[in-house]
Amino acid sequence: MLKNNTILRLKRILLSDKVNMPSGLIQLLKKDLLKLFDSYFDIKEESLKIEIDSNADGEYDVSIKGVSERIKSPRFMR
C-alpha cells in the first residue's frame, strides 16, 4: 500500500510540474474572458476564478467560475 501511495504522489508531482505556465497567463486569460463575458453578463471581475490543472492522462483541466448579477439581452448581428 505504501508503494502505491508513493507512486501516486510521484505521478501528481510530475503532472503538476507539467502545468507550470508562463507567469501572467492566468491574468491574461482573465482579461480576455472578462471582455468576452461582458457581451452576455454583468460579471463581477473579482469573482472570476480560473484554474488549470493536468489530469492523469497529461491533458489540461480548465475550470472557469464567476458570479453575474444578470444576463444581458442578446444583440444579434444582421
Strand-pairing partners, residue 53, are: 61
At 71, which helix (H) or strand (E)? strand 68-71
8 A C-beta contact, residue 44 and residue 11: no
On whether residue 44 sits in a domain, the answer given is yes
In a domain, 59, yes or no: yes
CA dist 56 → 11, 24, 48, 64 (Å): 8, 25, 26, 20
Domain count, the chain: 1
Q: Confirm whether 76 is domain-assigned.
A: no
Mean pLDDT of 40-62: 87
Is 77 part of a structural domain of the chain? no
Residues of the domain holding 26: 2-71
Mean pLDDT of the chain: 83
Instruction: Inform me whether the pLDDT recorded for 15 exceeds 70.
Output: no
52 found inside a domain:
yes
Instruction: Answer yes or no: pTM beyond 0.75.
Output: no
